Amino acid sequence: METAAANSNYKRFLSLPALIALAWSLFQLYIVIFGSLHAQVQRPIHVAFAIALVLLSKPLVKGQKGYRWYDVAGAIITFACAFYLIVNYERITTRIPLVDPLYTLDIVVGLVFIVLLFEASRRATNLALPIIALIFVLYGFFGHYLPGIFGHQGLSLQDFIENQFFSTGGIFGSPVAVSVNMVFYFLLFSAFLEATPAGELFIDLASISTRKSRGGTGKATIIASGLFGMISGSAAANTVSVGTFTYPMMVKNGFHPKFSASVLAIGGTGGQLIPPIMGAAAFIMVDMIGVSYAKIMKTAIIPSIIYIAALYFVVHYESLRAAIKTISVDASEAKKRIVQRLHLLGSIVVLVALIIMGRSLMFSAFWGTVSLLLLCFLRRETRVGLYNIIRALEVTARTAITIAVPCAIAGVIVGVITTSGLGLRFSSLVAQLSQGNLLIALFLTMIMAIILGMGMPTSAAYIMAAVLLAPAIEKLGVAPIVAHFFIFYFANLSMITPPVALASYAAAGLANLDLWEVGIEAFKLSFVIFLLPFAFVFNPALLGIGHLPEILWVTFTTLVGTWSMSMAVIGYSSAPLNKGQRLLLICAAILLIVPETITDIIGLAILAAVIVPQMVASRKVFRT
């Protein structure tokens, strides 16, 4: 039921940023209910809402409160630019691109919109993304001065504006299409999950399922991170959302603060990799390689299981090493809350069923949201009031700016890459450096994906890395979906890789710890996960591709390898491990993850040689 406090807060929705946010959500609802508009109408409106909301809700200077007159002016001008496209829609869509010249006003409007987009990107993310985009823009204009493979004929101002603003090849290209047609509606679904008792249901499910396990609070964090991944779609946001509840519990249970924060960062990052609802980059992949989202979900199942298992093993052996005990949980009360809310999971069933049936992602997410609201009203304990519904619509739009703006900026970069031919040149460079060696090409791709992901949203990092690097890997015989999954994983893992690791930094801020310490610890604990993308490139059975016996065997050996690496990282199995034993376990893990029968046999033998004596010795100590 709606509280008196909620009723008294309706006036918060009368602020200009809140009204813009609500108008944006209503516009998106109009699209899904009454039908999509033309791309060159719908996408500019979507981006304009995002820019305007950023200008009104993110200050020009850090620490400044509220918006100023110039923020309002910027928002008005942004909408005016989008309105200009709508008014001139017929002329723009019937003219011959790069043949019919643009009007002077066309160029002015396009430039103003691009400048406002860059400023919105600076405010919404940080300097990294707009600076990289600016470098690409400068490359587009002055590339004819560069010698060798990276030189090109250069772009004129008219050609640049033509491509970026008056076509669907730049700002309003594929990344924004994904934002407007897919991601927004999953953010809507996620916001309603969080606004209803479904969010608390996830915490209770995680706690009750691990209450009898040693180090249960750490394992509950892993489960909650996977469940909350479908809510936030952001590694940093997922880390903070889960950490607010679970970090104090882990520390109280006896886990070291640095270890606890690192587990939060890794779990928060993994939330974007776990189906059925993954991060925004997964939806962009659907558009880039032309497969269904059901296919993406199926492909992600085994890697996500291994990801969770790797983190679970790490927490388990750390709890053994630190002699962390189980904690008492009021199971009866938690079970009571779960029973009261369990029916809300039906909305996720509706969502997944519609996706599997082949309905559009927009349609599926919308009706998943509708079913959630209907299910909430089945029980008195789960009903939500009008305030919570309006609040969820506002939160959806405020969250969407973290996707829409980076996608628009990424569109600028993709437009320059396409028109300048940089993508082909970059692929040639990777091919030259690797000399046809797939392992070297993959290593270079990993480094570039992590560098591109420094300080940037996963979706933007994935787009750039995919456009620049995927063709080079595909030329070496890797299937498109495998190549894109490889890049997708490292775009996500950049969130926990120093020197700029947004998820690790979010966890460090929550725990009030040094950024570098948490980043390095998270990288160390997730080392085995960095091997996983290489494994599924050399053996796509890990992505569910191939015959069932092969898929089951490779999954088994990879899980065992993950187990071995986790013990080596923590330095504990049945008892403490010395340096030699840890080194042997690392070798065993690598051999088991490498997709060859002979390496599997050797790896299993080494693992047994280390673990069996440990188990025998620990039993003798126990008996003594």
How many Å apart are CA 179 and CA 175, to the nearest integer?
6
Q: What is the pLDDT of residue 1?
A: 44
Among residues 211, 62, 41, the alpha carbon closest in space to that of 127 is found at 62
Q: Residues in the chain, how many?
A: 624
> b/e map of 383-402 (b: 16 or more CB within 10 Å)?
ebeebbbbbbbbbbbbbbbb
3-state secondary structure of 456: coil
**What's this model's pTM, rounded to 2 decimal places?**
0.79
Q: What is the pLDDT of residue 7?
A: 54
Residues 6+ apart with CB under 8 A from 78: 48, 51, 52, 55, 113, 116
Question: 104 is in which domain, residue-wise?
Answer: 4-178
Among residues 213, 233, 444, the alpha carbon closest in space to that of 324 is found at 213
In a domain, 564, yes or no: yes
In a domain, 468, yes or no: no
**Tens digit of each residue's pLDDT (9 = 90 or more) over 604-620:** 999 999 988 877 766 65
Alpha helices in 88-171 (DSSP H): 89-94, 104-124, 128-142, 157-165
In a domain, 189, yes or no: no
Looking at this protein, which amino acid is placed at residue 75? Answer: A
Among residues 195, 193, 209, 231, the alpha carbon closest in space to that of 346 is found at 193
8 A C-beta contact, residue 452 and residue 445: no
Q: Show the tokens assigned to 497.
A: 């890789």
8 A C-beta contact, residue 507 and residue 550: no
- Domain end residue (candidates: 163, 178, 193): 178
- Domain end residue (candidates: 143, 162, 178): 178
How many Å apart are CA 561 and CA 596, to the nearest integer?
13
What Å distances lie between residue 491 and 8, 129, 310, CA to CA?
A: 43, 14, 19
Burial class (CB in 10 A: 0-12, 13-18, 19+), 113: buried
In a domain, 197, yes or no: no
In a domain, 63, yes or no: yes
Q: What is the pLDDT of residue 229?
A: 66
What Å distances lie between residue 278 and 268, 479, 507, CA to CA?
A: 12, 21, 20
Half-sphere exposure of 495 (CA within 13 A, CB side): 33
Q: What is the pLDDT of residue 329?
A: 62
**Tens digit of each residue's pLDDT (9 = 90 or more) over 384-396:** 888 889 999 999 9
Q: What is the pLDDT of residue 120?
A: 95
The dihedral built from the CA positions of residue 35, 40, 41 and 42, taken in this order, carries a sign that is positive
Say what the alpha-carbon torsion angle 457, 460, 466, 469 is, to the nearest 10 degrees.
-80
8 A C-beta contact, residue 501 and residue 519: yes
Q: What is the pLDDT of residue 328?
A: 63
**Tens digit of each residue's pLDDT (9 = 90 or more) over 285-316:** 888 888 888 899 899 999 999 999 999 999 99
How many Å apart are CA 567 and CA 584, to the nearest integer?
11
Count how many domains the chain has: 2
Q: What is the pLDDT of residue 48?
A: 97
8 A C-beta contact, residue 450 and residue 487: no
In a domain, 263, yes or no: no
Alpha helices in 254-345 (DSSP H): 257-270, 280-289, 293-321, 331-341
What DSSP line would sit under 94-112, residue for residue?
HS-TTTSPPPHHHHHHHHH
Q: What is the pLDDT of residue 624?
A: 39
How many Å apart are CA 335 and CA 204, to the nearest integer?
8
576, β-bridge pairs: 572
Burial class (CB in 10 A: 0-12, 13-18, 19+), 377: exposed
Q: What is the pLDDT of residue 32?
A: 93
Residues in the chain where the model's pLDDT stays below 70: 1-8, 98, 211, 229-234, 241, 327-331, 455, 500, 617-624
- Domain end residue (candidates: 178, 205, 233): 178
> Which residue spans within 207-285 are E strands per DSSP?
none
Q: What is the pLDDT of residue 233?
A: 54
Among residues 181, 173, 175, the alpha carbon closest in space to that of 28 is found at 181
In a domain, 93, yes or no: yes
Q: Say if residue 499 is preceded by a cis peptide, omega within 30 of 0.
A: yes
In a domain, 555, yes or no: yes
